[in-house]
Every structure is written in structure tokens, then in C-alpha cells.
Amino acid sequence: MVTRTNLISRRMALKFRQLSISAVGSLKIKLLLLCCFVFTLTLLASRTPSFLGWGQESVPSLDRTSSKGYTLLINTWKRYDLLKQSISHYTTCPGLDSIHIVWSEPNPPSDLLVKYLNHAVKSNTKDGRYAELVFDINKEDSLNNRFKELKDPITDAVFSIDDDIIFPCKTVEFAYTVWRSAPDTMVGFVPRIHLLDPSSEKENSYIYGGWWPVWWTGTYSMILSKASFFHIKYLRMYSNEMPSSLLEYVKKNRNCEDIAMSFLVANATSAPPIWAKGKIYEIGSTGISSLGGHSDKRTECVNRFVSEFGRMPLIPTTVKAVDSRGTWFW
Ligand SMILES: *[C@@H]1O[C@H](CO)[C@@H](O)[C@H](O)[C@H]1NC(C)=O
């Protein structure tokens, strides 16, 4: 009899243990499910503000009316397809006020090209008006042409670009917003760095650092003018206040006008530029940066400009501007 009761109680104990094990198991699963749920919720909430009832209508829209927009300053050289593609794209962007095409070819733009571009501009009317299109024709072929003073500037903001890269309107708008919060600063998408040359005996000897050192160190001190916003006053300063020997050097070597502009702005502001995050699409690949020996030439420019300015004005920074709507967890 004793053994029988024993057996029963043992069986019950076993059963109880199985029960409690499965209870703990389901608790874990529940916790896991809860985590998944919270995670999904956070993801959804950060992606779409409307998910939690914060619809777009309750968020004040980014104000564009208080500014006059920006002037697109595009540098081109015998690549009409790229030029057409670029202009057609940018005319669809809000905030675009006017387009200045820096033209340094010996022949003026063909009627066909002018007609095509004018049509592209006019087919993208916004609020009953369209962007003004101007060819800035230059007699001589010099890289300094790209920063010539504009005759009738309407906007404070200049968006300087090469004809072989395209940025989505959203990216441009974002950089423009960043620029408006710091209008003296250069804001753009292609960062570069100057590094101290450890092999040189001279104290202030530098090396031009391309994409790799920027990526590796997360540090930059220049924003290239092939894709950047800056204040229109810097065009005047570039032509009128830059040492003429420096302008001559840029013209002769057909290089480094963008580094010169970075020096000019850094010298004037004593502050670093701002790197804005954005999508880049390269539509051509015949730029000078793909040619060999490019980096050595750029290093030469940096050291040359340091001696022209009498000091190194560039200031390194690690700050990067990011659109908070595009990041899902702060
Ligand atoms: C650099 O800045 C100083 C002080 O503002 C100014 O006097 C000088 O002319 C600037 N140099 C160049 C080359 O612009």
C-alpha cells in the first residue's frame, strides 16, 4: 500500500515538473514575442510618423517660403548628354531658382542644345514660374571660370555641381536646409582631408587625402565644390580677393580650384565645412580624378596654397549631418 501511494505521488511530482517546465518555456516565448512586437512597433513608428496618429498634417512642413531658393551652378565640358540629363533632373527639384551653366568651350552652345534645355526648364513649371536658365560664356578656358562672380545674383545660396553626378531632389533639399542653418559654411556631399606628411622634414608639409582616409578616420576638412552649397559672396571673394598667383596656378595646372575654394571659405570662417549625408549617382566616369597621378598633384596644391595663405586654414571635423527622418532609432 505504501509503495503504491509512493508511486502515485512520484508520478504526480513528475507531471508537475513537466508542467512547470512547459510553463517556463511558454513564458520565454511570450517574452520573445513581446520583444518582437515592441521592435516592430518602434520600427513602424520611426518609419511612418502617421502610424501613431502623428500624421504629416500635424507636423509643420519644412519651411521653404522664407527663402528664395538656390542657384544651380553647373560646370560642364563637351558632355552634352550629361548636361541634358542633369538639367532635366534638377528642374524637377523644388527650391531651384535659377541655373547657371559655366561654358568654357571655344564654340558657343548650339541652338539645338539651348532649345532642348529651355524646353526642359519650361516643362517643369512650379507655381506658375520656372527656373531661369543662363549660359555664362567664357572666352578663355580656365577652371577659375567656375567661380566667376554672377552678374545678377538673386539667391544667397549657390549649389555648385559637376555635370557627371546627380543627386535626388530630396538629398539636395536636405543639404540646402543644412546650409540655411549655417550660411557661411560649405555644405556638401564629397568630403576630403588634409593629413600631416610624416616623411617630410619640413614642419608644415601635408598630404591630400581622398576617399579612403576619410572613410578610415571619419575625419574631413574639405568639401569639394563638385557637389556643395555655399554662399554667393564666396564667388566674389574667389575672383577678387584670392592671390592672383594662386589663380594663375589653378589655371596653369588645370586642377585644384575646388581645394582653393575650400581654403578660401575656411580662411574666412575659421570653421570646418559640413558633410551632408545623401545619395549620389555617378552618370559619367571620365573626370580628372580617374586619371593617374591625381593625388600627387592635389598634394602639391595643398602645400602650395598653405604657403600662399601663410598658414593652414583647413580645420578637421568629424561631424556629419543626417536627416533624422531617415534614421529609424535616433
Ligand atoms: C584670410 O583671412 C584673413 C583674415 O580674415 C584675411 O586678411 C586674408 O585676406 C585672407 N586670405 C585670403 C587669401 O583670402
Which strands sit side by side in the sheet containing 157-162, from one edge to the other?
A: 132-137, 96-103, 70-76, 157-162, 227-231, 187-188, 274-276, 320-321
Instruction: Determine the average pLDDT of the residues in 322-330.
Output: 80
Cβ of 98 closer than 6 Å to ligand 1, yes or no, is no
Q: What pLDDT shows up at residue 64?
A: 47
Strands 320-321 and 274-276: parallel
- pTM exceeding 0.85: no
Question: Averaged over 20-32, what is the pLDDT?
Answer: 67
Q: Which atom of ligand 1 is nearest to the CA of 243?
A: 13
> Minimal CA–CA distance to 275: which of 320, 315, 324, 316?
320
Residue 296 catalytic?
Answer: no
The response to whether residue 241 sits with its C-beta less than 6 Å from ligand 1 reads yes
- Give the confidence band of 189 by pLDDT, cuts at 50, 70, 90: very high
Q: Which of 127, 258, 296, 323 is the catalytic position?
A: 258
Q: Whose CA is nearest to atom 1 of ligand 1?
A: 267
Question: How far, in Å, is the centroid of ligand 1 from the Cα of 17?
Answer: 82
Per mean pLDDT, which range of 98-112, 151-165, 280-294 is the poorest? 280-294
Structural domains of the chain sorted by starting position, each given as residue range(s) with its CATH number in brackets: 66-284+292-324 (3.90.550.10)
Of residues 256 and 42, more confidence is placed in 256
Minimum-distance ligand 1 atom for the alpha carbon of 237: 14
> Among the listed ranges 39-43, 76-80, 127-131, 285-289, which one has the minimum average pLDDT value?
285-289
**Phi/psi zone of residue 109: left (φ > 0), alpha (ψ -120 to 50 degrees), beta?**
beta
Q: How many helices (H) and strands (E) does the chain have?
A: 9, 13
User: Separation of 267 CA from ligand 1 center, angstroms?
Assistant: 6
With the most atoms of ligand 1 within 8 angstroms of its CB, the residue from 267, 304, 305, 312 to mutate is 267
The residue among 147 and 292 whose pLDDT is bigger is 147
Mean pLDDT value of segment 176-200: 94
Span from the CA of 74 to the centroid of ligand 1 (angstroms): 27
Task: Find the 111 Cα to ligand 1 centroid distance in Å.
Answer: 43
Mean pLDDT estimate for the chain: 85
